[in-house]
Structure 1
Amino acid sequence: MLNGQIIKGIGGFYYVDTQVGLYECRARGIFRKQKVTPLVGDRVAISVVDEENKKGVIEEINKRDTELVRPPIANVNKALIVFAIKNPKPNLSLLDRFIVLAEKEGLEIVIILTKADLDDENILDEVKSTYELSGYKVIPVSNKTKLNIDKVKDELAGNVVVFAGPSGVGKSSLLNEIDKNFKLQTGEVSDKIKRGKHTTRHAELLKLECGGMVADTPGFSSLTLDDISETELKEFFIEFDEFDDCRFGSRCIHEKEPSCAVKEAVERGKISKKRYDSYIQLLNEIRQGKRRY
């Protein structure tokens, strides 16, 4: 058998990159019985059924280091979460959902803000200060002026990275700028609804000239937090970690409890009030069972 990694999956076919070439594979029926779906990024073992035409069958799927549900990618170690400064304006509640899901998987997170050259409402400084205060690296970029393209390359080099964010923010355009070998389809933002047209139809791992691999994924306007409980959510707001000396200790969910160190930190400006309000919104949605955005 050959060992490789799934770099693309379309219509039940999985394209496995091995040391001796790319094979188009089907998955064994046993996976369906076990309710296991191969994911892009999976490290697999395949048997070759047609060497001339590079056809094979996925026989084994190795244990995953990480697994994201939306986008459905396995074994990535870093998330570049991409939002635009304008067209569409950044939806910070949606950004926080991406962050929570990436934190749940233990991924390193970098926030990329595209279309920085269109920042005529000073949105960039506001968003940047909010998330830098929370402990995240924030990189504004512009394809037009080439602002910080090299910095994004540095974040990609040597990593398996998920490139995620809502539609219309310019993920594919940025990847085309980062690696000139890419010819990813891009789309305009609808003038009527200010949302991007879905140009990436499937998840795919792309090899980079600068080293490493990146997953170009479909854009999403909704994310679910189905697997996160109201007592667990606070763990994924990393800025809360510094203020863990609440009166109720680990039982405190930083909402209505007295002598809450997190709430006091918000009042002192040590924690962003916007991030805290977002936390409370997500907490209420989880509690009430409203898990779709």
Structure 2
Amino acid sequence: MAEGKIVKALSGFYYVQSGEDRYQCRGRGVLRKNKVTPLVGDQVEFEESNPGEGYILAIKPRKNELVRPPIANIDQAVIVVSATQPNFSTLLLDRFLVLIESKHIEPMIIISKMDTIDDEKESQIAQYKQDYEQIGYVVESVSIKQLDEIKQAVRHFKGKISVIAGQSGVGKSSILNAINPQLKLETNEISESLGRGKHTTRHVELIEVNDGLVADTPGFSSLEFNELQIEDVPDCFPEMRERKHACKFRGCMHHKEPKCAVKLAVENGEIPTYRYQHYLQFLEEIQNRKPRY
């Protein structure tokens, strides 16, 4: 019996990396019986049946997992947002951040296409960058053509399993291709009429980038808060999480309660107003969600 990590899933086969070798494996019946589907990123026990082929016998406990893309044991989610085309949106960024925080995955932000904006827009984005860094997020701004900027950004990939998330057309594949031209990941121009790119990625695979592994698939094709409970939302905002102990009421939702440390921080300019507005918007969205039976 050997151990390894699933680095690719395609047509019912799981490709397990064990040391320098890669094995094409199928899942054993015991997994199906226990209704366990192996995921890319899983640490597994397998046995070799023929040279380079084998069967997965057991899956080690996961620290987290995503449904889209189907991947487990993620160390960080890299959210790529573009300065323009599509326009930089703090609302969309906060949506991604909340979804990632709710899965207990470390987020990192890359702002792309910085070479395509004017000075006014640049200073606006510099302010946003500062806001998110103050919250505690790692934020890197890059121009797709500036390789040294991209290399600076991807130093955070080292030794980690990363998933890349972001709207279509923000330059996710371009960034990875710039670091490792052998990837030849498909990129698509933005379809102007829709203002969004076409999906080009079809299967899930972990590829080596900068001594780490990156899923070459768009993360979070759905940005719905279907799995999120309303009481979990405050903890998905780090600046609220660290202030909740100072609120008068335990379990404060930072909305209508008196003596709330979060609302005070918003009034004092310690928390950006737009972050708080998005928080209230997300609360309302989850509250109005239709129950699923």
Q: Which residue of 2 aligns with 1:72?
A: 70
Q: Which residue of 1 aligns with 2:205?
A: 204
Q: Which residue of 1 aligns with 2:14?
A: 14
Task: Letter of the 2:226 partner, please give it.
Answer: D
SS of alignment partner, residue 147 of structure 2? coil
- Deviation, structure 1 residue 11: 2.3
Q: 1:205 to 1:143 in 2, by over 3 A?
A: same
Q: Percent identity at matched positions?
A: 46
Select the residue among 99, 111, 121 that pairs with 1:101: 99
Residues 15 and 25 of structure 2 are in contact (CA less than 8 Å); yes or no, is this contact kept in structure 1? yes
Q: Which residue of 1 aligns with 2:268?
A: 268
Question: Within 2, Cα distance between the matches of 1:24 and 1:221?
Answer: 28
Q: Which residue of 2 aligns with 1:2?
A: 2
- Deviation, structure 1 residue 114: 0.9
SS of alignment partner, residue 17 of structure 1? strand
- Deviation, structure 1 residue 20: 5.2
- Mean Cα deviation higher: 69-78 or 182-191: 69-78
Q: Which residue of 2 aligns with 1:130?
A: 131
Task: Letter of the 1:19 partner, please give it.
Answer: G
Q: 1:31 to 1:182 in 2, by over 3 A?
A: same
Question: Within 2, Cα distance between the matches of 1:215 and 1:221?
Answer: 14
Q: Which residue of 1 aligns with 2:282?
A: 282
Residues 30 and 57 of structure 2 are in contact (CA less than 8 Å); yes or no, is this contact kept in structure 1? no
Mapping 1:251-266, distance limit 5 Å: 251-266=251-266
- Deviation, structure 1 residue 75: 1.2
Task: Letter of the 2:104 partner, please give it.
Answer: G
Question: Within 1, Cα distance between the matches of 2:112 and 2:32?
Answer: 40
Select the residue among 108, 111, 127 that pairs with 2:109: 111
Residues 141 and 147 of structure 1 are in contact (CA less than 8 Å); yes or no, is this contact kept in structure 2? no
Question: Within 1, Cα distance between the matches of 2:227 and 2:254?
Answer: 20
Question: Within 1, Cα distance between the matches of 2:33 and 2:82?
Answer: 42
- Deviation, structure 1 residue 94: 2.8
Cα RMSD (Å): 2.0
Question: Within 1, Cα distance between the matches of 2:2 and 2:186?
Answer: 32
Q: Which runs of 5+ in 1 are unaligned?
A: none
Mapping 1:1-293, distance limit 5 Å: 1-19=1-19, 21-51=21-51, 54-120=52-118, 121-122=121-122, 123-146=124-147, 148-208=149-209, 210-218=210-218, 220-244=220-244, 245-248=246-249, 250-289=250-289
Residues 85 and 115 of structure 1 are in contact (CA less than 8 Å); yes or no, is this contact kept in structure 2? yes
- Deviation, structure 1 residue 221: 4.8
Question: Within 2, Cα distance between the matches of 1:35 and 1:90?
Answer: 41
Residues 167 and 220 of structure 1 are in contact (CA less than 8 Å); yes or no, is this contact kept in structure 2? no
Task: Letter of the 1:118 partner, please give it.
Answer: T
Task: Letter of the 2:147 partner, please give it.
Answer: K
Question: Within 2, Cα distance between the matches of 1:97 and 1:30?
Answer: 38
Question: Within 2, Cα distance between the matches of 1:10 and 1:91?
Answer: 34
Q: Which runs of 5+ in 2 are unaligned?
A: none
- Deviation, structure 1 residue 64: 0.9
- Deviation, structure 1 residue 219: 5.1
SS of alignment partner, residue 258 of structure 1? coil
Question: Within 1, Cα distance between the matches of 2:146 and 2:280?
Answer: 38
TM-score norm. by structure 2 comes to 0.90
Task: Letter of the 1:37 partner, please give it.
Answer: T
- Deviation, structure 1 residue 112: 0.4
- Deviation, structure 1 residue 69: 2.7
SS of alignment partner, residue 231 of structure 1? helix
TM-score norm. by structure 1 comes to 0.90
